[in-house]
Amino acid sequence: MKACLPTWFTLDVAEADRFVTPDFTLGQFFYSAETVRLLADCLDHFTNPCCLCTPRLAYEWHQRGREVRLLDYDRRFSSMPGYRPFDLLRPQPTTERFDAVIFDPIFSDATRLRRALEMVAGQPDADTPTALYMTFPKEREAELLSAFGAWRLAPLPFRLGYNNVRPGHADTFQLYGNRPLPSPYPAVTDKADDANRAAMNRATSAQTSGSAERVKK
């Protein structure tokens, strides 16, 4: 029986966006070329970022002459400098310390994904929580924010682009983060950037309040 594909799916990929052929049986999709270019521009100030299931972003940095850690299940990326195998469904703890994790997971149960993330990034109640940027289906936002509550995620006004997603369906997926993104690109307007700062100020205020309560106890 032929699997029922989502309405936003397409096999058509623009020549400029071509990358490794996704393994759709793994739920694998890749960011567009423009998306990884903008993300790399925004996140290049981090000293030790981790690309968790974001091989195209790791490749973009590699093309710029920068090696970053790539954790991914797909061993086709094993020749890329910085690659280490990592299974989201059977995660093993890492010993490295990252100041940012960029996470584009298979869209499994959000609680399960949080456990995998914390094998990489540690617990969010540390003195300096790791910066987390994560993509997830917008229609499942409540599930994500509940499961990742301690991470203080908020939607960010960043226009994601994926290969194999039909034009007009880009807003199916959302970028979330616990830190604001700098916006050196035209895709984020001044108004959106103001919304970004306001959302992250609320998250930071709530996190600071929670830390103060723990100190009092």
Which pLDDT score, from 0 to 100, does residue 204 have?
Answer: 46
- For residue 15, is it within any domain? no
Domain containing 72 equals 22-210
**Token pair listed for 29:** 């999709």
E-strand ranges in the chain read 49-52, 69-72, 83-85, 100-103, 131-137, 154-155, 173-177
Structural domains in the chain (count): 1
- For residue 170, is it within any domain? yes
- For residue 179, is it within any domain? yes
Which pLDDT score, from 0 to 100, does residue 159 have?
Answer: 85
- For residue 133, is it within any domain? yes
- For residue 198, is it within any domain? yes
Which pLDDT score, from 0 to 100, does residue 195 have?
Answer: 40
- For residue 108, is it within any domain? yes
- Per-residue three-class SS string for 158-212: CCCCECCECCCCHHHEEEEECCCCCCCCCCCCHHHHHHHHHHHHHHHHHHHHHHH
- pTM for the full model? 0.77
**Cα→Cα distances 198→119, 133, 172, 201, Å:** 30, 17, 23, 5
By DSSP bridging, strand 83-85 and strand 69-72 are: parallel
- For residue 4, is it within any domain? no
- For residue 7, is it within any domain? no
The domain that holds 161 is classified in CATH as 3.40.50.150
The residue ranges of the chain whose pLDDT is under 70 are 1-13, 17, 19, 22-25, 27-28, 126, 164-170, 183-217
Which pLDDT score, from 0 to 100, does residue 208 have?
Answer: 42
Which pLDDT score, from 0 to 100, does residue 160 have?
Answer: 87
